[in-house]
Amino acid sequence: MAGDPFLSDPSKKRKRLNRLTSTSKKSRSSTPTPAPRRVAAAADNDDDISSGSDSEDDRASQDDGPRDEDLSSDEEFGDESVNDKRRRLAKQYLENLKQNEEELHEEFDAQDLDDDILARRLQKDIAETKGFVYKFYGDKITGQLDPDYPLDVITTRIASKNLTGMTIHYPYLYTVSKDMQIIKWDISKEKKPERIKSTKGGAAYFDVDSENLDSNHHWQQINCIAASPDGKYVVTGGSDSRLIIWSSDELKCLKVLETRAAVNSIAFRRNSDQLFAACADLRIRTYSINQFTQLEILYGHQDNIADISALARETCVSVGSRDKTAMFWKIAEESRLTFRGGDSIEKKRKKKKPEEEEKGTDDDAPFHNEGSIDVVSMIDESHFVTGSDNGNVALWSLAKKKALSTERLAHGLQPKFKPSEASSETSQEIALQQVPQQLPYWITAIYAVPYTDIFISGSFGGSVKIWQLGEGLRSFKQIGEVHNLNGCVVKLEAVEVPGIKTLKVFVLLSKEHKFGRWLGKIPGGRNALVSFTFDL
């Protein structure tokens, strides 16, 4: 303990050091050494130590190169600012991406790599995290919608009674119908889809067998279907107040989740097992499909919830049919935004511009009040489109409670009734007076390709229309129309084929509306799956 320098007396230590320094000074030459020479002496001592052994010389010679390079790099970027450093690192990141892509794709030239691969990867990384539109396909598709050169439309007849819904998880497509049938299709081939497997329910499945889950099915019509993002499960909802989870491979029942009312529409959150179900009891139910459990119930609509849509974030948007509202639900924040529709002649006059008032010709155009908002689809995390029973297609944004843009009579008017069809009067003049006004074509289906500037709408007039969003996502215009689609369009879907720059669009046609028989007999209507492809 006595020899421990930590416990030694500092005063004695100072005296001893002073004594040593004094003796050392006496032993040296009498010429005084100036203070600045201490640095030089220390450098000389370092040189003497570094040259003490050959092995240390070898190690020093090996380390001199990298150390010199590090010092030179520090000196080179020593004066750069924060913005210059960010710019330099970004350029270095792009060069690394370019080198990696050149190794993988040696057949492409540098221009293709710069414009296509790098830009696509950077835009996708940023836009998907923020939920913005980043795929601009409208201009590419416009040139392929020439009326003189129609698209190659592939029609597949389906022997089911009045189809109601479909979903896609490439390379498979699933359809459901009013006769409680689920069909699995292979759509990877260029020709017609190939039927792989099917299962059918009926009145025999009225009771739920909790012991043998494989023997359960729907006993009333199936209204909707959705495939999980991982492709393991397929979920169906029906008018029998059941939500059934199926294995996608064998179409076997795995779990029956009962609800209090009919399930009208379901949608999966992208890259998640979270499912949103819109029910006829004015409620939205959320589920965790991997756990086969219900999470929570959302309240707010005042009428039957007809449709629901969701993307990557924990949000969804739904429409309440005759309550004429669209509600954007923020699940994590436990809040919602309400967007009120109800387009009427009074609202139209309030929105009328001064130029239109001077002309006075706008009042002569046919106008129909909006009675129900039936379909909805999300474009990105802050924009969505809706379709109504008066033919309105409306574009909405979270930044504004009113529609940004509305296209009235998007699919035109239905044919006018003949006097003999509208009246039983024998007098032609009286019968003509009883002919009602032409009614608009409802918007029975709408689908926005996620994170792109295009969306598709359908009705029962024999065609689907393709729309393109304008700059700033504040307006839209029609860029084309696909004809000879006889029947009621009950569902629209599209998929980007992996590895091939193509967009495959699928249209599901039925002989009647999926929720009723209000449309009567549609001329030439059929139950079919129609597909056409766009090159991107």
**Torsion on CA atoms 443, 316, 294, 219, rounded to nearest 10:** 10
Q: Is 230 exposed, middle or buried (0-12, 13-18, 19+ CB in 10 A)?
A: middle
- Per-residue pLDDT, 461: 93
Q: Does residue 40 sit within a domain?
A: no
Q: Does residue 77 sit within a domain?
A: no
Here the CATH number for the domain that contains residue 297 is 2.130.10.10
Structural domains in the chain (count): 1
Q: Is 533 exposed, middle or buried (0-12, 13-18, 19+ CB in 10 A)?
A: middle
Tokens at 470, concatenated: 């304008």
- Portion of the chain with pLDDT greater than 70, in percent: 76
- Give the mean pLDDT of the chain: 83
Q: For residue 531, give its domain range.
A: 137-350+367-414+441-535
Work out the average pLDDT over 57-79. Answer: 51
Return the closest-CA partner of residue 509 out of 465, 460, 466.
460
Instruction: Give residues with Cβ within 8 angstroms of 48, minimum separation 6.
Output: none
Q: Does residue 434 sit within a domain?
A: no
Q: Rg of the chain's alpha carbons, rounded to an integer? A: 36
**Helix segments in 326-393, DSSP class H:** 345-351, 354-359
Q: Does residue 295 sit within a domain?
A: yes
Q: Does residue 519 sit within a domain?
A: yes
- Per-residue pLDDT, 120: 66
Q: Does residue 71 sit within a domain?
A: no
pLDDT digits (tens, 9 = 90+) for 251-278: 999 999 999 999 999 999 999 999 999 9
Residue type (1 letter), 387: G
Please, are residues 195 and 183 in contact by the beta-carbon 8 Å criterion? yes
Q: How far is CA 159 from CA 12, 60, 445, in A?
A: 107, 83, 22
Please, are residues 162 and 514 in contact by the beta-carbon 8 Å criterion? yes
The pLDDT-based confidence of 205 (bands split at 50, 70, 90) is very high
Kindly report the number of other CB atoms within 10 A of residue 63's CB atom.
Answer: 10
Q: Does residue 144 sit within a domain?
A: yes
pLDDT digits (tens, 9 = 90+) for 100-116: 655 655 555 556 656 66
Residue 526 has pLDDT above 80, yes or no: yes
Q: How far is CA 123 from CA 116, 140, 382, 497, in A?
A: 11, 18, 18, 19
Top pLDDT among 307 and 342 is at 307
* Peptide linkage before 171 cis (omega within 30 of 0): yes
- Per-residue pLDDT, 99: 72
**Parallel, antiparallel, or unpaired for β 373-378 and 253-258?**
unpaired
Helices (H) then strands (E): counts for the chain = 11, 28
Work out the average pLDDT over 452-474. Answer: 95
Residue 1 has pLDDT above 60, yes or no: no
Q: How far is CA 155 from CA 145, 249, 381, in A?
A: 18, 25, 33
Q: Which residue's entry shows tokens 């590090």?
A: 70
- Per-residue pLDDT, 351: 65
Return the closest-CA partner of residue 516 out of 483, 490, 485.
490
- Portion of the chain with pLDDT greater than 90, in percent: 58
Q: Does residue 407 sit within a domain?
A: yes
* Three-point CA angle 278, 284, 287, nearest 5°: 95
Tokens at 107, concatenated: 């057949």
